[in-house]
Amino acid sequence: MATKKGQVKKTALEQYSRPRTNGINAITIREDDELLEAKLTTGESQVMLALRSGKAIRFEEAKTRPMGRNASGVRGITLANDNDEVIGMVAVDDFESNILVVSENGYGKRSSLDDYRITNRGGKGVKTISITEKTGNLVSIKNVTDDDDLMIINKSGIAIRMAVADLRVMGRATQGVRLINLKGNDSIAAVAKVMKDDEESEDLENGELNEDGTAIDNNETEN
């Protein structure tokens, strides 16, 4: 588990084997903090945490000892300032995968996992994207391969889907490229990694789609 203030905690899955209808304690959250993400790990996974300020850290899961459900965890990354916070956690099992980050103003970048050296947990991390007024703060981090698609949703309700394979691998400290054009004060609300849909890609190549996602038959005649 990871919190917005940079705490991480590892707990054996068997400790959650007897859930109650009103829930059971999973982690003790400290004041002014909140749980951000929970990921399943193998015992040999590596963990990456990314900050709003554009820094990221990579460390081995083994550096975090297992704790009980009521523990609050240990420091995973040090925040740059009081306004900084963790925006995402990745549990890496495929060490051939890439790291993809997206900023709030629609810029993104795909980098090699090897660009992030393995360090001890609790450090300040390294730059994962150059944060500028143009890019805005970091909002998402994902581990991806060429077999993935990316769904990006704006706060205004607009969503786009793109193939990760269309994004070239760039250096860790670069600004990235514009993934989506935003209007006015719009910004990125969420980013999701989805399986590549070959059938939908064929539909898009052959013609437009109906609102329900089915292909429009251009040979259909009106009554």
Give the per-residue pLDDT at 195.
86
- 30 alpha-carbon distance from chain centroid: 23
Domain 2-206 has CATH 3.40.50.150: no
Q: What are the residue boundaries of the structural domains of the chain, listed by start?
A: 2-206
In which band, very low, low, confident or very high, does the pLDDT at 210 lie, cut at 50, 70 and 90?
Answer: very low
Phi, psi dihedral angles at 108 (to 5 degrees): -150, 170
Phi, psi dihedral angles at 190 (to 5 degrees): -160, 150
pLDDT digits (tens, 9 = 90+) for 149-207: 999 999 999 999 999 999 999 988 788 899 988 988 999 999 999 988 765 544 444 44
Residue 116 has pLDDT above 70, yes or no: yes
